[in-house]
Amino acid sequence: MSQLGTYLLLFGLVVSGYGLLAAAVGAKTGRPALVESARRCAFGLFATVAAACATMLAALLSNDFAIRYVAENSARETPAFFKALSLWAADDGSLLLWNLILAGYIAAVALRFRRDRSPTFPYALSVLFGVQVFYLVLINGPARPFASLANPPADGRGPAPLLQNHPLMAVHPPFLYLGFIGFTVPFAFGMAALLAGQGSDQWVSVIRRWALVVWCFLTVGLLLGALWSYSVLGWGGYWAWDPVENVALLPWLVCTAFLHSVMLQERRGMARLWNIALVIGAFALTTFGTFLTRGNVLSSVHAFTQTSVGPAYLAFVALVLLAGFGLVAWRLPELRTPASLTSAISREGAFVANNVLLLAAAAIILLGTTFPLVVEAVSGQQVTIGGPYFRSSVTPVFLLILLLVGTAPLLPWRATNRSRALRRLRGPVTAAALVMIATAWAGVRQPAAVAGFGLATLVFVANGQELLSGLAIGRRALRGGAVRALARGRRRHAGLVVHLGLALVAAGIIASSSLGQQAQVTLKTGQSTVFAGQVLRYQGLHTDRQPQRIVLTATVSVTNPGGGTAGTLGPRMNLYPAATEPIGSPSIRRGIVWDLYASVISLQRGGGSATFRFYHNPGVNWLWVGGLVMALGGAAAAWPGRRRRDSGDDQGASAVRKRTTVEAGAR
Amino acid sequence: MRRWIPRRRAGLLAGVVAGVAVVVVLLMTALGRDPSVIASPLVGRAAPNFTLPQLDGPPVTLAKLRGQVVVVNFWASWCAECQTEQAALDQTWRQFQDSGVVVIGINFEDSTGAARGYVRADDVRYPVVEDADSRTALAYGLRGVPETFVVNQSGRIVNRVIGPVDAATLATEINSMLATSAQ
Amino acid sequence: MNAAGPLRRARAGLPGLIVLVALAAGLAALVIVAAGGHPPASQAQQVQQIAAGLHCPICKDLSVADSPAPLAQQMRQEIARKLRAGESADQIRARFVAAYGDSVLMSPPRQGVAGAVYYLPWLILAAGLITAFALLRRWLRAPPPGPLQTSPQQASPQTGPPQTGPPQAGPPRASPRTGPPQAGPPQAGPPRASPRTGPPQAGPPAGPPQADPPQLSAAQRRAVARALARLRAEEPG
């Protein structure tokens, strides 16, 4: 099976190499037959890489320990579910998943654009194949998953204990990768626009939808990562400002900025080159993130085992930056848009502010993540930049962003009528002020939290008000139902729904960061303590022997002060043979307003007494719900409209082209 | 308007190339080092004193060993790598015991029973002490086990090794210290 | 219209007043909270505060306060011991830095190269804001593109004269356009099935009132308002 996998990957490399050359030559010399053959290759490539993945899956499930990856990441006792998930548990396997998803995206592009005759498509195809070639070279060279062992062991080492502890392992990496790798598509089309020398209006409406879908995937991926950190790692929090977490957030911020500034281009023909620069930046950040994660540069919980691929990733990052921004610089004088604005207090102005704030947040996070490297390179000093720094430097920007999200949807295009704007503002601002007063009265002591709650309310009420008024106007004017009214202004309404989700997420973040409590207490069997207004009693230890681990559950009963039993908590310690220390699993009682969270730190006297950490975490569930609302809103915005047929975008593109030529002619 | 386009283009391109070059150089220096190795500020400074109880025997105080070379080794029974360096430490003890070199094993975050079991199983002859509340480990800036500190005759830390030590390195260092003190 | 003048003006000013009052109330609450200060921290809270500023040496990202590791627990006990002995927070931190180096602090020291990380975010934000202002100013000064920016189905404006925009100096807001103002989306998609009541040029523009608004009858105004509402509902955002 090792040989089969190796040959499949090698074949995939050959196919993608041909695709790259054929598309590039076809683009340059204008030969549609070559381009078409390259397009067809995309399907063959996907089939090949999928077959290689299937081979690895089969090897994992059949305990083929002759393959080194299987021997290092799977064991006989591992449950089948987690054996399958071991496919992406370590560096080489996850690279295989990466290649699969990339090949899938290329095949999707090939399918979607099968009737496209524009001059930019072949260039885009060649860029996509180019990126695929890089990752296939890696997987055929330094990071070979199908490398075989001379003396296969009788049993494998098993996956890292932390990675076989929770079913979230099944969804977090795939969604995250779908998000990261998806940025390749807008990047390819942006580069194509630059390479072909064409104005980028042709692709903007299409790429906007691709970017939106990718944004949804990345939102879900990040959310699942936070959920993992909260439900699996047992430290009571969901975001540790780990370097890898930070670099995963950066493309999300840049993509959000892009999704807003692309409307400037659609509506007003402005910011064309800026949008291309944004998609290039987003892709460059994902490659930089891959370098940071796999290149063993910074210490992180996510760092893969050491491999020698660091220099290769660095070279790729350099290539992407040079090619991308170099082309932007080259084309800058030609593709510059002469833009004009009627008033700064308008939606256009708001989008500019949006871009400034989101990119400033991204720049600050990037700065904090990479600064230890800079300091060490310059002065040899080793420093840590951790959570407190990020929290204090990102919070002001985050609050400004909330302020913008709460006021910008009320602004019309071009210029604002002041009285109308004030009328629309009075509800949200009043609600925000009431919440701030209530929060201050309730005893919250951090000004940032009070401001944050007020701003989250502002966002929620402002966007909700716009949504309802849009619904009402739609129903009155069109004499249709609410659903029809919703569907007509779908993009705008979906955007407002995303903002509503953001308000929930913001409220959740602020509540959990400023209002939480924690306590560490050692309890003997039968002993109880009072925490967060409830009585917690340690009832005893329960041992469960499973084939791959021993699970020790410390049962804690939760009673209300009035006397009624509220339930039980069962934080666990999992003892894996491969690990020197037990892996803790927390137990969470989730509630609408707050969670009661327990993890067991250590056991003494064989379970006679146990040290617990109890957490009172308010607002964490608002995070998950709000994040889900954001992702669903994004999906609703990306959903193809009923009236636009498949070629509708081409029609739109050609109409826009007419407009730009007319504009150009008039100047 | 036409003439400034090529110059402006070249200027912008040069800017991009310069920016990318800076980023690449920075990341290349980052690639060159191992992020898990953090330099210890204690090397070259006086070794923090400690008085710790032996597993079986009277307490050991570092200050009382002034004038002798001391090899302080932090270990634990649950640490697999500590097993691999045990032979080297035993050999060092046997080789330099008569020259007045002391090897001290400080048990880190372990139970007395497990520590005794390890000592008995590996037949450790040099003094082994327990650091129950990890105050000594904290004073020495311990980030994990095994870590070994070599202290010279004037009580100054001359080297710190992260991970298992090997007998040859230790021997070279101890010999050089013994030589300088003999002069 | 003139008979109800003052009352109308007062009612028109009401939203602004509400917003102002609400804003003031919210800010007042904020100021009170900010000035409120904290009660003196108990020793347990002090240990938490100091521990939150130290990086757990054997964990990857967690502070000593958050980390469940035994070494972190013992560090917290050490901090408590030193606090009871009368040492200050700075002295305790200095002890750990002496043993572990600067990297044991969760945030770098403010001196030296590393200290730059504290003021660089402000520089970044300032640079972003300055760039944005410069860009906005340039766009505000630029002449608006002529009446050619409408969607292709509106035939007449495309043959009109280009660039009858305002002179460069002064705010271009009151520019009398010769084409229809953009009351609707100029999206060049497939023509929408909903019938437009002709080019929506008679409606009040979204900007400040122009120099000579056309006089319309009440019925005309209602028809225009309906048409505008329909268009706004169609806005894809």
Instruction: Work out the minimum CA distance from B100 to partner chain A, whole angstroms.
Output: 36
Strands A587-589 and A550-559: unpaired
Most confidently modeled range among A336-350, A518-532, A633-647, C196-210: A518-532
Interface test with C, best of B72, B106, B134, B145 (most C CBs within 10 A): B134
Residue C193 has pLDDT above 60, yes or no: no
- The pLDDT of residue A149: 85
pLDDT band at C97 (very low <50, low <70, confident <90, very high): very high
| pLDDT, mean over chain C | 72
Q: Which residue of B9, B35, B80 is in closest CB contact with A330?
A: B9
- The pLDDT of residue C170: 35
Q: Which residues of chain B make contact with C77, given a CB cutoff of 8 A?
A: 133
Instruction: Work out the minimum CA distance from B16 to partner chain A, whole angstroms.
Output: 6
Of residues A561 and A304, the one with the higher pLDDT is A561
Residue A401 phi, psi (nearest 5)? -60, -40
pLDDT band at A307 (very low <50, low <70, confident <90, very high): low
Residue A367 phi, psi (nearest 5)? -60, -50
Report the distance separating Cα C50 and Cα C83, nearest Å: 10
Q: Which residue of C173, C226, C229 is in closest CB contact with A342?
A: C173
Angle between helical axes of A490-514 and A387-407 (0-180°, round to 10): 140
Q: Is A497 on the interface with C (CB under 8 A)?
A: no
Residue A630 has pLDDT above 70, yes or no: yes
Structure tokens at C30: 């904020």
Q: Do A422 and C16 touch (CB under 8 A)?
A: yes
Of residues C235 and A189, the one with the higher pLDDT is A189
Q: Are A529 and A523 in contact (CB under 8 A)?
A: yes
Distances from the Cα of C10 to the Cα of A350, C7, C14, C16, angstroms? 30, 5, 6, 10
Report the distance separating Cα B113 and Cα C60, nearest Å: 30
Interface of A with C in 325-384 (CB under 8 A): 338-344, 348-349, 352-353, 355-357, 359-360, 363-364, 367-368, 371-372, 374-375, 378-379, 381-384
Instruction: Work out the minimum CA distance from C146 to partner chain A, whole angstroms.
Output: 8
Q: Do C100 and B139 touch (CB under 8 A)?
A: no
Quickly tell me which residue has 């959990």 as its tokens. A512
Structure tokens at A459: 């966002």
Q: Which residue of A266, A372, A445 is in closest CB contact with C187?
A: A266
| pLDDT, mean over chain B | 89
Residue A565 has pLDDT above 90, yes or no: no
- The pLDDT of residue A580: 74
pLDDT in tens, C134-177: 888 888 887 766 554 444 433 333 333 333 333 333 333 333 33
Q: Is C58 on the interface with B (CB under 8 A)?
A: yes
Q: Do B15 and A329 touch (CB under 8 A)?
A: yes
Residue C94 has pLDDT above 70, yes or no: yes
- The pLDDT of residue B54: 92
- The pLDDT of residue C197: 39
- The pLDDT of residue A246: 95
pLDDT in tens, A419-466: 888 888 989 999 999 999 999 999 888 999 999 999 999 999 999 999
Q: What is the 3-state secondary structure (H, E, C) of A116-146?
A: CCCCHHHHHHHHHHHHHHHHHHHHHCCCCCC
- The pLDDT of residue A202: 67
Instruction: Work out the minimum CA distance from C82 to partner chain A, whole angstroms.
Output: 20
Interface of A with C in 605-644 (CB under 8 A): 613, 643-644
pLDDT band at A480 (very low <50, low <70, confident <90, very high): low
Q: Which residue of B8, B20, B30 is in closest CB contact with A321?
A: B20
Q: What is the mean pLDDT of residues C30-52?
A: 87
- The pLDDT of residue B46: 93
Q: Is B143 on the interface with A (CB under 8 A)?
A: no
Identify the closest residue of chain B to A308 by CA–CA distance.
B31
pLDDT in tens, C62-78: 999 998 888 999 999 99
Q: Is B23 on the interface with A (CB under 8 A)?
A: yes
Q: Do C19 and A426 touch (CB under 8 A)?
A: yes
pLDDT band at A478 (very low <50, low <70, confident <90, very high): low
Q: Which residue of A359, A389, A450 is in closest CB contact with C117?
A: A389
What's the residue count for chain A?
Answer: 667
Interface residues on A facing B, Cβ-Cβ cutoff 8 A: 291, 295-299, 303, 310-311, 314, 317-318, 321-322, 325-326, 328-330, 332-333, 370, 373-374, 376-377, 382, 580-581
How far separated are the first and last CA of chain C, in Å rounded?
34
- The pLDDT of residue A481: 64
| pLDDT, mean over chain A | 88
Of residues A540 and A479, the one with the higher pLDDT is A540
Q: Which residues of chain B make contact with C99, given a CB cutoff of 8 A?
A: 41-42, 48, 138-141
User: How many Cβ atoms sit within 10 Å of the Cβ of residue A168?
Assistant: 16
Q: What is the mean pLDDT of residues A138-159?
A: 85
Residue C220 has pLDDT above 80, yes or no: no
Task: Show the DSSP H helices in chain B as ranges.
Answer: 4-31, 80-96, 112-122, 135-139, 167-182
Q: Do C74 and B138 touch (CB under 8 A)?
A: yes
- The pLDDT of residue A660: 43
Q: Do A314 and B80 touch (CB under 8 A)?
A: no
Q: Do A367 and C120 touch (CB under 8 A)?
A: yes
Q: Which residue of C58, C74, C96 is in closest CB contact with B133?
A: C74
Task: Tally A–C CB contacts below 8 A.
Answer: 277
Q: Do C68 and A599 touch (CB under 8 A)?
A: yes
Interface of C with A in 77-96 (CB under 8 A): none
Residue A46 has pLDDT above 90, yes or no: yes
Q: Is B35 on the interface with C (CB under 8 A)?
A: no
pLDDT in tens, A218-274: 999 999 999 999 999 889 999 999 999 999 999 999 999 999 999 988 888 888 888
Q: Which residue of C32, C106, C139 is in closest CB contact with A339?
A: C139
Q: Is C57 on the interface with B (CB under 8 A)?
A: yes
Distances from the Cα of B175 to the Cα of A513, A582, B59, B149, angstroms? 56, 42, 28, 16
Q: Do B133 and C77 touch (CB under 8 A)?
A: yes
Instruction: Work out the minimum CA distance from B28 to partner chain A, whole angstroms.
Output: 8
Q: Which residues of chain A make contact with C125, given a CB cutoff of 8 A?
A: 360, 364, 397
Of residues A414 and C13, the one with the higher pLDDT is A414
Give bridge partners of residue B147 from the DSSP assignment. Answer: B74, B162
Residue B7 has pLDDT above 90, yes or no: no
- This model of the complex carries an ipTM of 0.89
Closest CA to A362 of A452, A286, A456: A286
pLDDT band at A306 (very low <50, low <70, confident <90, very high): low
- The pLDDT of residue A437: 94
Instruction: Work out the minimum CA distance from A79 to partner chain C, whole angstroms.
Output: 28
Residue A402 has pLDDT above 60, yes or no: yes
pLDDT band at C213 (very low <50, low <70, confident <90, very high): low
Structure tokens at C10: 């007062």
Report the distance separating Cα B141 and Cα C188, nearest Å: 67
pLDDT in tens, A570-615: 999 998 887 777 888 999 999 999 999 999 988 888 888 999 999 9
